[in-house]
Structure formats: C-alpha cells, structure tokens
Structure 1
Amino acid sequence: MQPIFVNDKPIYLTTKVEKETDFKNFLLKDADIELIIKTLSKKSINSIRLIGPKEDKLLKSFKKKLPNVIAGGGKVFNDKDEILFIYRNDKWDLPKGKTEGKESIEETAIREVKEETGIGKLKIIKPLPNTYHIFKRNGKAKLKITYWYEMYSSFSGKFYPQLNEGITEVKWLNAKEVNQALENSYSNIKLLF
C-alpha cells in the first residue's frame, strides 16, 4: 500500500476493503480531498484507505485529484558512512526542494542539497523510493512528489544552512544520531531508512 502523508498521518491507496477500526475507507474515484484532510485531523482516526479497482492505477488516479509539486532531494553519505541532515521547523529532515525551469529531477536534487546545506562534491549513487505528502498553500491542498537519491560527498568544509528556508542547522549524523533524529522527523523521511 502506497502511503501519502498529511502531516504524519497516512492515506493508503489499496484495492482491499477492510472493516474500519481506527481508519476510514473511501472510494478513490469519489474521494473529496478536503473531507479526507478533515477526517484525518480527528484524534480517533490514524489513517485513511482510498480504495480503487486496479493496483497499478491507484497512484496515477490519486495524482489527478490535486495539483502536483515535483521535488528532488538527497540522502547523502560521506566517507565515515554518516548521513547529512538539516534541522528545519523544529524537525530533522533531509535536504530537498522543488524543480526549477527545465532542469532534470537529478539536477534538482543536487542543486537543492547544495543550496540548503552549502556542501559540494555531490555524486548520485542510485534512486531511492519516492515519497508523497499533501500540504496546503494559500488554502489550497497540493500533492508534493519527492524523488529521492542516495548520494555521496567527500565534502568536509563549513556548512551554510539556508536560513531563508528556515534551516537552522546542517550536520553529518552517525548511525546512533540518525536513530535519535528520526524520532523527531517526518513519517515520509522515516520511509527512506
């Protein structure tokens, strides 16, 4: 089941109808996104299941329900097998951002990591799973689709957090520190670990 997050609560796209407990079922073809967001805000509801007939068409059908914002980001490793994290809006996160102009998604991912952290010497190793979350801008719901890449950098210089993006800290974290950071991170980031 593909999760799409609203804050830290998931909407699952599925073909299976299950008896409701701490979740609600909706038919994907009739889904009202505003109603779904409102339902997910209730404390008694932990998730939403959007049910459609064909597994391979669920995500494509869902994407048509909202304006899509395309972003790219990186899970960057260094020589010590540490991972690059940013601290923004009181949460640990990975660097990412929206595409600009006609750049490729790979170019977006590298540019955004550089802009948000100040590091260089980036090399894409392989693609990682995409993540999806719904956010609101000017009262309108949008679907952010983030294409993630595992990256490597031998960078060892000074970090430059992108303050105008609310980033207050950039750090290489070891395995233990990563686990601690993930306790105060987003659900879609946790999917990448």
Structure 2
Amino acid sequence: MYKVFVNELPLILTNKVSETANGEYFLLNKDAIRTAIRSLRKKKLLEAYIYHPNHEEILKKFTQEIPLVVAAGGVVTNAEGKVLFIYRNDKWDLPKGKLDKGESIEDCAIREVMEETGVKDLRIENFLRTTYHVIVNSDIYTLKQVHWYAMKTEFEGKLKPEKKEGIVKARWKGPKKIQKALQNSYANIKILFEGD
C-alpha cells in the first residue's frame, strides 16, 4: 500500500479490495487516476483508492501515468534536541528538494537541507520513510516521492532561509513548538512525527 496525498487527502494505491471504508475505488489507468485526483482536489471524496492486484507493479504503473519527481530531505536535530523547520507558502515544512542527475539520494538530502537553511556539518543517522504527494501545476500532474532521513548537526551558526525558494523563515523548534508547527503543516510532514 502507498499513501499519496492530494491536497492533504489520501489517494491510496492498494492491491486489497477490503481496505476501503468510506472511499471510492478507481482502476489504474490515466482517466481513472485523473478522476480520482480531481475528486480529492474538489473534496468530492475524502479518500480514494487506486486498485491493482499486483503490489510490486502498482507504483511503477502509477508513475507511467503520472510522472515521478524524486526528492530528499531531512528531519534535522541539533545538539539541544531541537528540530529544524522552514516556513514557506504560509506553512511549516521541512527542508527537501529534487534529486540532481547522478546524485545519490543521501547527498541530495544533505545538499537540500544546507541550501534551504544554511545549516552545515550534517550527518545522516538513518532513513525514516518515503512520502508521496501529487503536485498539480496548470492541470499537469506530477507525483513527488520524498525520501526522508533523520540527521544530526552540531551547527550553531545563523540560519539562512533560501529566499529564492520562497522560504521566509528557518527555525529550530522544541517539542511544544513542533506540535504547534504541525497544526499548520502538511500531512506528509505530520506522519514523520507519528510514532509507528
């Protein structure tokens, strides 16, 4: 099962017919996928399911219809145990960005955090999870796949939000401020802070 967010609502790619409670099923073809995405965007549905019997094939077939953009980012913790957030498009987010050609996913995650916040001396602790969301730009649909890593840093310098990327703030946040920030964040970011 893959959970893909469309405007904060889940589009679930599944090989099980029993998973739906109050959503609607769609087949894995271009027209059905576009209808499912439109229904979620217009809030006609609160969740939708794309069904395909083969779990191994489902994401590959989905990305044949909706182009895939690979990105990486970090949940960065400093020496005080605070987590690094960025503020962009009136929401709290985490630093991330697109993979460059020939770059490893880990290198991309570190580069993007550095570029978007100015934080240096990052080290990856472990892989956290992969999230998915659909981006709609002039009726062109793209699936963004973000690989998230837990990172640590001893960096104590000034944070430098990358203005040309629309980032207006970069802040270290402790537990209370993290909870507050998550109230004005994205579903994909919230799930990074949920205990599994």
TM range (shorter): over 0.9
Q: Deviations over 1:113-170 (max 9, x none)?
A: 0000011010011111101111023431111111111100111110110011110110
Match of 1:58 in 2: 58
How far 1:82 moved relative to its partner? 0.9
CA distance in 1, matches of 2:19, 2:170: 44
1:107 has 2:104 as partner: no
Alignment identity in percent?
45
Give the structure 1 partner of residue 169 of structure 2.
Answer: 169
Q: Gaps spanning 5+ residues in structure 1: where?
A: none
1:79 aligns with 2:82: no
TM-score (norm 1): 0.93
Structure 1 Cα separation of the partners of residues 52 and 109 of structure 2: 32
Measure, in 2, the Cα distance between the counterparts of 1:54 and 1:152: 38
CA contact (8 A) 2:7 2:40 kept: no
Taking the TM superposition and a 5 Å limit, the aligned residue runs for 1:35-184 are 35-184=35-184
**Alpha-carbon separation, structure 1, partners of 2:20 and 2:106:** 40
SS at match of 2:72: strand
Mapped contact 2:11–2:37 kept (Cα < 8 A):
no
Quote the residue 1:4 is aligned against.
4
Give unmatched runs, 5+ long, in structure 2.
Answer: none
How many Å separate the matches in 2 of 1:174 and 1:81? Answer: 7
Mapped to 1, the partners of 2:161 and 2:117 lie a distance apart of 5
1:16 alignment partner in structure 2:
16
CA distance in 2, matches of 1:55, 1:10: 18
Q: Is the 8 A contact 1:73 1:146 kept in 2?
A: yes
The CA RMSD measured in Å over matched residues stands at: 1.8
Distance, in Å, in 2 between the alignment partners of 1:6 and 1:130 is 16
Q: What TM-score do you get using the length of structure 2 for normalisation?
A: 0.91
Whether the 8 Å CA contact 1:31–1:50 is kept in 2: the answer is no
Q: Which is helix-richer, 1 or 2?
A: 2
In 1, Cα distance between equivalents of 2:158 and 2:63:
39
Shift of 1:55: 2.7
Is residue 27–residue 33 contact of structure 2 (8 Å, CA) maintained in 1? no
| Residue aligned with 1:5, SS | strand
